[in-house]
Amino acid sequence: MQKTRSLAVFCLSPLVVDFACLHILTGGFARVVADPADVSVGFLLYCFIAFALQAPIGFIVDDKAYSPYAVSICGCLLCAVALAPLPVWISLVICAFGNALFHIGAGADVLARSGGKHAPSGFLISFGAIGVTIGTLTGSSGSVQNWIVLLPLLLCVALQWGFCRLEAADMKPVASAPVAVIRSDGAVIFLLLLCIVIRALVGVFTYIPWKATVFLSLLPTLSVFAGKFLGGIVSDRLGARATAVISLLLSAPLLSFFSHNILLCCIGLLLFNMTTAITLCLVFDRLPGYPGFSLGLTTLALFAGTSVSYFTGMPPTIRIVFILSLTLLSTVAIALAAPRIFLPPD
């Protein structure tokens, strides 16, 4: 019961933390900084701190055996401090570090206690997408004051203090089945990180022209949420490789040729994001004892793919070929890296 409660708290908290961070970025930083180039630099700086720095932070947390829940609480408190009336660049840096600390703490705890299953990681990483969208909407509208955002952050701190103070977990690998084709740990990790870079690139360059209202803007977010949430569950039942390959192959034509269709595009986004928990858990499988560093490597790969959007554009005709080719490349990479079967312990 305690384990279930802590997982529930760590699933709620990413929504709140990402909501607060995007509210600060779009409601404070982007509304104050007038130059669009400075806004882009600020968002890139935020992404670098919040995502790329999770790898070294995670390694330090793993190496020093800090309590994961204490690290996640520190992250929430930093995000709360960033809501204070500070210079906008300082607020941006503080909330970015808070985001990184929270996700390393929560992610390390959930990975280490997953019991050989992918589903808990899928639960953890899915809710952040909703928080990002809500924070973007409230920040852009300017209708939500900072103290309202502060309250759920403090609630998350209280919930983590009450339910997540567990004894140190055994840092066991997530999967027990060997990879079927690639045996080298280094090669497997490279292929998995390549899949994450590709997932970020496809997410950046997928053209969704129908997001004309608030409701329609929420549909892609809900699709991404559902894909991440369900990916771990399906992987625990069908196997990591089967789940990843089937979902990617089905998503490729939907995102390449039918992104203008609301229903088909949402299905494509759901299927495409089902590999998120799989790649995270399989990286941890190759780095047992380092859950924080494993998570940090995946977010570093995510930053590498996402940052491309700040430096390049892409014509529509090339975009179709680009998305289709990268998705197929990701399918091959994960087919080589993922185990053929996955049998979680009882």
Burial 156-167 (b: 16+ CB within 10 A, else e): bbebbeebbebe
Q: Examine the domain organization and report whether 39 and 99 are in the same domain.
A: yes
pLDDT in the model for residue 279: 93
Classify residue 184 as exposed, middle or buried by CB count within 10 Å of its CB (0-12, 13-18, 19+): exposed
Residue 216 has pLDDT above 90, yes or no: no
Residue 248 belongs to some domain of the structure: yes
Q: In this predicted structure, what is the pLDDT of residue 174?
A: 46
> Which residue shows structure tokens 């180039």?
37
Mean pLDDT of the chain, nearest integer: 84
Are 122 and 233 in a shared domain?
A: no
For 5-31, what is the mean pLDDT? 87
Residues 15 and 129 in one domain: yes
Looking at the structure of the chain, the number of domains it has is 2
What is the pTM assigned to this prediction? 0.86
Tell me the pLDDT band of 299, cut-offs 50, 70 and 90.
very high
- Among 130, 163, 196, give the residue marking a domain's end: 163
151 and 191 in one domain? no
> 16 in a domain, yes or no?
yes
Q: Are residues 115 and 234 in the same domain?
A: no
- The fraction of the chain above a pLDDT of 90, given in percent, is 42
Pair 108, 9 in one domain: yes
Residues 135, 236 within the same domain: no
Q: Are residues 84 and 157 in the same domain?
A: yes
Q: Are residues 49 and 98 in the same domain?
A: yes
- Can you tell me the mean pLDDT for 11-22? 92
CA distance 212 to 144: 22
User: Does any domain span residue 72?
Assistant: yes
Model pLDDT, residue 310: 64
* 140-165 pLDDT tens trace: 887 788 889 899 999 999 888 877 76
Structure confidence at residue 346 (pLDDT)? 39
| Residue range of the domain that includes 157 | 2-163
Task: Kindly tell me if the per-residue pLDDT of 101 is higher than 90.
Answer: yes
Give the per-residue pLDDT at 341: 47
Instruction: State how far the Cα of 84 lies from the Cα of 62, in Å rounded to an integer.
Output: 31
CATH assignment at residue 221: 1.20.1250.20
